[in-house]
Amino acid sequence: MITLKISVKSLQQRMQEHIQALSWEPAFHRGVAQKKYALDTQDQPAVKIAIANVPLEYDLWQGLRNPATIGRYPVGLDELWEFYAHHRKQRVDEYGRQTIFQVPREFAFAQKQYQRAVIISVMLPFSIDLVTQYINHVKVEA
């Protein structure tokens, strides 16, 4: 069994480091040399992180679904599992031959194998200054 030590503080520091590193990329230097992301009280990127340990039957969107069912249906744990299972399936068979006929493990396998899932939610910093800068470029026509 693999045990990971994950904390909100360590993830927050890691995300802040990545955001600061990305801010040095040329694509982020447009016009005025100011921060393009929201800052907290210590002048660090304002990253918000939440971690939850939930059972596999947990409904991530309970009470938050659109009652009119307009728009996209939110993704649950079973859809997340099947998405990643499809992308992580074996590309070769047990004899080392390439095969396109591999079938990803279904969510039923996860329910038998695991009891809980760790959900990590990250809200990246978005500066309201960006919105005010781009308002001048948006024209609304009646």
HSE-CB for 139 with a 13 A CA cutoff? 1
In tens, the pLDDT along 31-90 reads: 655 666 788 888 888 888 888 899 999 888 777 766 666 556 678 888 888 888 777 666
Per the rule left: phi > 0, alpha: psi between -120 and 50, beta: everything else, 125 is beta
Residue with tokens 């800052």: 39
Residue 142: band (very low, low, confident or very high) from pLDDT cuts 50, 70, 90: very low
What pTM did the predictor assign? 0.61
In the chain, domain spans: 1-56+116-142, 60-114
